[in-house]
Amino acid sequence: MPCLNRLIPCLDADEPPRQVGAADVDAIERTSDALRRCDFEHGGGLARAGTIAQLRSVLRLRAAAATPAIRVQLDIAAADLAMLAAWCSYDLEQHDQAHRLWIVALEVCRHTDRFRAADLAVNVLLDVAHQSLHLLRPDEALRLAGFGLAVESNSPDAVSDATRSYLSSVQSWSYAMLGDTTGCERAMGRAEQHFAAVDPGTAPPWTAYLGTAEFTAQQGHAWYLLSATQPDAAARAVPLLTAATNALGGDYARTRAVNLAGLAGSHARAGDPDAAVSVGRQALEEITRITSRRAYQRLRLLDDCLAVHQTADVAELRHDIQNACSAS
């Protein structure tokens, strides 16, 4: 059987269209939306290749003729795709590739004179901060959030309330990981204020995921992270993460799966090993169904949370988690 890859044409050899219009940009944005939904539902492993291929094509379109207004829209679409490709790479623990793609997104934003470019740039910085937290670098995450605040201060009317809410949530997670209860609670309060002001009709497309369930999960995750040094915080995390995971459906399967792991860990830290095992089983099942290597780090953290409980059910779940993480 011949190698099928040899039969596929190299798109880089094709000439880009001579002109790009509004219909082309609209098609690109709809494709990006579909790829983003694939990422949320199935994880970066399924969405990454298609996103990078689309990004290559869109970047080549920037050489085509276009009106100034269309060129700005095309640049925003390209930066959005680069940010999504970076996130998919990060979701697969391909951290260096993610950084390069985030740089692409920031460079395109930097040369784009449109109000949404500032909003997108802040989101890129916050995604990099998200990665820093995943790599256990909360100080670095706070610095990146600070850069986002600097962009906001330079373009105060250009940054949406949805993005401001995400920024404050990232700060709350950073303070929580540092064990700073006061900083965490203040940032959570700011996130709540900004979220209450979000207008879904005017929010940028890259913030469309920030509904009530996602915001509740973000708040619950902050308490969960804080519970590593402040055990009483686990009881605050449980109802929030319960509400969030109950509300999240299949369209946000990865978000639900990683927060199930956090909910199980919160139960464990709150002294309820039976609930931790029950929810932990759900988390294990759902994480192994998606293509997100990053999600396995949430299982490893759950395993650490469970270690203080010496029951047979806990031991069996920990054994299954360790096997799944080894095979991932």
Residues with Cβ within 8 Å of residue 237, at least 6 apart in sequence: 220, 221, 223, 224, 227, 262, 263, 266
Q: Taking the C-alpha atoms of 32, 118, 208 and 195 in order, what is their torsion angle to the nearest 10 degrees?
A: 170
Q: Residue range 207-224: average pLDDT?
A: 97
User: pLDDT tier at 158 (50, 70, 90 boundaries)?
Assistant: confident
pLDDT at residue 28 is higher than 80: yes
**Inter-CA distances, 1 with 6, 7, 8, 9, 10, Å:** 12, 12, 15, 18, 21
Tokens of 222: 């902050």
Q: Residue range 273-281: average pLDDT?
A: 98
d(Cα 197, Cα 79) in Å, to the nearest integer?
A: 26
Please report the sign of the dihedral spanned by the C-alpha atoms of residue 207, residue 101, residue 66, residue 54. negative
Q: Residue range 226-232: average pLDDT?
A: 97
CB 187 within 8 A of CB 171: yes
User: pLDDT tier at 112 (50, 70, 90 boundaries)?
Assistant: confident
Instruction: Quote the DSSP letter at residue 136.
Output: T
Q: How far apart are the first and last CA of the chain?
A: 30
For residue 186, count other CB atoms closer than 10 A to its CB: 15
Burial of 284 (0-12, 13-18, 19+ CB in 10 A): buried
Residues with Cβ within 8 Å of residue 303, at least 6 apart in sequence: 318, 321, 322, 325
The pTM of the full predicted model, rounded to 2 decimals, is 0.93
Tokens of 308: 């203080």
Identify the pLDDT of residue 235: 98
Q: Residue range 274-291: average pLDDT?
A: 98
User: pLDDT tier at 252 (50, 70, 90 boundaries)?
Assistant: very high
Spell out where 123-184 has E strands: none
d(Cα 17, Cα 75) in Å, to the nearest integer?
A: 16
Q: Residue range 201-222: average pLDDT?
A: 95
